[in-house]
Chains A and B, each alone.
Chain A
């Protein structure tokens, strides 16, 4: 981590503050500010993790990890021209990678009945959302890609992130992201063609 620290006396600066920046500074002292940060970003993080795993229970667990890690140790967050949300997405991406490493040989998660596929976790209280067949097929194909391709595709096409935002999340240069997207899409196309989802 870089050594530059966030200065919470930012109000003395001339430039306008990003809302997240001010919330992060305030959250270090004020739990309610942390709550507002949480409210602002929960849905996106949960949704992202769900899109990656298609498992509500896993998404709940991993989302908990992300926010517990981030919000209860805000003093570890260092501004390096990386927005707070990008930092959250980065933690979430790491969590998802760890999840896949742990479940390397497990079958792809079954949406709507995630408790049937995981061995012993308690089922979620909420029912899983309706998942279109098209997304299910894409998700299964994405699982065959390497994580770096899978992540950039999900962030780009299902989280609507720009190349710049994906670059902030992953830490890779924009050129690298573009290249990963291109290669990942090409391979995804091949997988879907092989599965007869798309024509050859």
Chain B
């Protein structure tokens, strides 16, 4: 090893590093720094306000040199002369907008220097106005000299909400491809109000037509044909030798798929099309832990409603709060639509829901079970390009139909955090276990254990639990069982090249998740129930398996997702990735649940009427069982 190191050292000492210089940049930056320092010397802070000095550098394409700009000149004057790279400074009053026009080829760089003395946190946000399609990319990053955060964004409106530390510098750049674009910025000290407004703004509440992943603006293809083929072949090969469920898809001739899909990979014109082809291919394996994702997934622009499958129908389960939409036109549109939770959507843009599912969605969704496919597909039914209109045919609970038009946007529904613990009548306690991602939930459970011990009945709600680590779930389960419970069994392929050459059948390597021992000390011994639904997945299903094996209580609700396993992660060209499921899990007695779902002891599914009335029939059933 030392000889190699000596050799490389000798080599490196003989390599001449290039001497780089950029005189124009050097001069320009020097001027910018000095101007800013001088400017700050004259700034004062008034009570209740703080001044934000924004240095705006407009860098024209091929700009050479720059001129010194007096800070006494007005912003519009300076902008009008901004062809050659002029540094502008302006003090921005709080909560006011500044609009900056950009010409073709120009990049606007805004350097923010918040006064670090007046506010601990502030909201700095920016967005593009009309003609936003001209803007190609935004780089946003901030630094306090020690830490740097941010990155390249292709969503060109955004906010820097600083909590915890105040950056001394934030740089936001927009790059304009053609025509003119307008960027807007605002600084606000009213974080809660303005952040919601920003979120609404960013999620489509405004009229702007930015396509932030628009392939017409951003190079549509960054991956060469060779790389695409290599990526596809790698994916195909990893699936061939590692996928654990070939017996579930006997109709799939995987060798033939290779030949079938190579032309499709070649024909893909853009990165997005390439990844769509890969998704189509992998979806044939029909496994929820096997899938592909692109480097920049397209934004899910939809009307301001959330759609889910209810008894096989596309039902509105949430309507975006109209009062949170700031743009009057969109707000009025939603109010006029008068949509109600529980109403069914039968058509989107003249096409039946069933047709959209069959042609546009299901073929690209990798899912182990029908319930998983529905879970993924139904929310995407009305998706489309931002700011386009969706025509929905809506059927109310009485069967009457009407058509409504709604504008698509990136509506981020307010996150409704559920309390960890709810006290129900008759001394029943409900605990919402929404994730097994982290040990924190075990700590929360242990922290509330005195209340658990005092409960006359315990309901564990796993309906929103998409998994994490099985060990986390077992950490809770051990406090609820009185005897050891065997965890799920698993197996993985044991590929032996020589055995294959000899024509021998491939073997399996088998293992178990071990035994979950009851916790020492106090344990809960009262009646228990676990609530499940189609979003109960992965490690949460491992929990349900162990719970059912232990026989301590009933599982109430709907079948779980039916997908767990150990994914093998693969990098794909262009920054996307894939995973292949390498492990099959079963109940300890060998019963399958992957591809089926854990079947509840008491199956209960809400109807449209239940959803419209806001009734949680699954919970009601569990309470009824515990009360007996």
Chain A residues with a Cβ under 8 A of chain B: 1, 31-32, 34-35, 38-39, 42-43, 46-47, 50-51, 54, 56, 59-61, 63-65, 67-73, 76-77, 87, 90-91, 94-95, 97-98, 101-106, 111, 119-126, 128-132, 134-135, 138, 153, 157-158, 182, 185-186, 188-190, 192, 198
Contacts and interface: CB of A to CB of B under 8 A. Distances in A.
Main secondary structure of the interface of A (DSSP, over half): helix
B225 interface: no
Contact of B25 (A106, A126, A132, A158): A126
Given A91-B145, A120-B177, A158 B17 contact: yes
Contacts of B147: 94
Given A71-B33, A94-B147, A186 B18 contact: no
16 contacts: A35-B33, A54-B18, A61-B139, A65-B169, A67-B29, A67-B33, A72-B37, A98-B149, A98-B151, A102-B139, A103-B152, A132-B18, A135-B17, A157-B9, A158-B17, A198-B7
B61 A47 contact: no
Contacts of A47: 17, 19-20
Contacts, number: 197
A46 B34 contact: no
Interface string B29-66: 11011101110110000000000000000011111100
Interface of B: 1, 4-5, 7-9, 11-26, 29-30, 32-34, 36-38, 40-41, 59-64, 105-107, 111, 113, 136-137, 139, 141, 143-152, 168-169, 171, 175, 177, 218-219, 222, 295, 573-575
A56 B145 contact: no
Given A70-B145, A119-B137, A59 B20 contact: yes
A69 B169 CA distance: 6
Given A91-B146, A95-B143, 10 more contacts: A47-B19, A91-B145, A94-B148, A98-B150, A102-B151, A105-B573, A120-B218, A132-B16, A135-B15, A186-B4
Contacts of B64: 125
B63 A69 contact: no
Closest 3 CB pairs of A and B: A105-B575, A50-B20, A189-B8
A19 to B, nearest CB: 19
Contact of B34 (A1, A35, A51): A35
A76 B147 CA distance: 12
A58 to B, nearest CB: 10
A140 to B, nearest CB: 12
B38 A31 contact: yes
B62 A76 contact: no
A65 B12 contact: no
B8 A34 contact: no
Contacts of B175: 120-122
A131 B222 CA distance: 25
Contacts of B59: 122
Contact of A138 (B12, B20, B21): B12
A50 B26 CA distance: 14
Contact of B219 (A43, A73, A119, A126): A119
A95 to B, nearest CB: 6
A109 B575 CA distance: 17
B20 A128 contact: yes
| Residue from B106, B107, B141, B218 whose CB has the most chain A CB atoms within 10 Å | B141
Nearest to A91: B145
Nearest to A33: B37
A72 B151 contact: no
Given A186-B1, A189-B4, A98 B20 contact: no
B138 to A, nearest CB: 10
A73 B16 CA distance: 35
Nearest to A159: B17
Contacts of A1: 146
Contact of A135 (B13, B18, B26, B137): B18
B5 A186 contact: yes
A67 B62 CA distance: 23
Contacts of A188: 8
B575 A104 contact: yes
A111 B8 CA distance: 23
A59 B30 CA distance: 15
Nearest to A197: B11
Contact of A65 (B14, B40, B171, B575): B171
A98 B177 contact: no
A74 to B, nearest CB: 9
Nearest to B105: A122
Contacts of B106: 122
B574 A125 contact: no
B12 A105 contact: no
A86 B452 CA distance: 56
Contacts of A42: 26, 29-30
A133 to B, nearest CB: 10
B151 A59 contact: no
A98 B8 CA distance: 28
A72 B107 contact: no
A106 B223 CA distance: 10
A135 B9 contact: no
B37 A69 contact: no
Contacts of A31: 34, 37-38, 41
Contacts of A34: 33-34, 37
